Amino acid sequence: MINERFLKARENVQPEHRIFVRKNLALIEQIFHILNEKGWTQKRLATELGKSESEISKWLSGMHNFTFQTISKIEAVLGQEILVTPRQLTQKISASVDITAKKIVGEVLNRVHNEPSIIRYDASLDLKSDGKTIIIEREKKMILNKHLPAIEVTAAKVKYVDNTSNHDTSAA
């Protein structure tokens, strides 16, 4: 059962109210994700920020109105971005995809150059990104050789770190 007065309040909610709450919750989720990765407690975060634990607890309760100044301080102590714009995200993904594409082109050229019997070489990737890393869920290669049957090679879950100056590849 949904209370009628609550239903009425829901009708009065404007898009900006939903955006505010959802962005806030997403920001908190990102902070907790990084805390878990780093093995930090809220207490450690409070200490690093020079704030009390209760203050940080309130920040992470879901309704704190974060300022850019606060976000910047949190990013500074965590050493990671917690707020990324769609354009920044596109640039990061593009950079990572570009690296991957160059790697594939290089590999294809190399194979064709060294093995003249190859008449066709296809490569395809299924990509997924959470904004921080690019996961190649499936990497498929089809190699047609004049003298040999077609070779199909499939790799799954290959991870590329998005940092263009320090990209890393590893097969899962």
Partner 1 sequence: MKTFVIEEFYVDEQNRCNFYTVKFDDEDVSETVKFFESYDVEGHEFRDDVLYITVLIEEIAAKGSQIIYRPRDEARALALPPEKMIREINLEYTGNNLRLYYVELRTNIWLLLGGGIAHNLPKGNPPIAFHEAQYFVKKAVEAYNIEYKIHDGRVIPANGTEIIIY
What residues line the site for partner 1 (CB under 8 A)?
A: 1-3, 5-6, 8-10, 12-14, 17-18, 20-22, 25, 28-29, 32, 41-43, 53-54, 56-58, 60-63, 65
- Judge contact between 60 and 28, C-beta under 8 A: yes
Give the DSSP H or E segment for 7.
Answer: helix 4-12
Minimum distance, C-beta of residue 103 to partner 1, in the bound complex (Å)? 38
SS3 61: coil
Q: Is 73 left (phi over 0), alpha (psi -120 to 50) or beta?
A: alpha
Minimum CB distance to partner 1, residue 63 (Å): 5
Nearer to partner 1, 8 or 147 (CB): 8
Place of tokens 């919750």: 25
170 φ/ψ sector (left φ>0, alpha ψ -120 to 50, else beta): beta
Give the residue with the Cβ less far from partner 1, 65 or 165: 65
Two tokens at 65?
């109105």
- Cβ 75 to partner 1 shortest distance, Å: 20
- Pick between residue 68 and residue 113 the one whose CB is nearest to partner 1: 68
Query: Minimum distance from CB of 9 to partner 1 (Å)?
Result: 4
Nearer to partner 1, 77 or 104 (CB): 77
Q: Least distance from C-beta 91 to partner 1, angstroms?
A: 29
> Which residue, chain included where needed, has tokens 């990324």?
84
Residue appearing with tokens 């690019």: 134
Whose Cβ is closer to partner 1: residue 14's or residue 67's?
Answer: 14
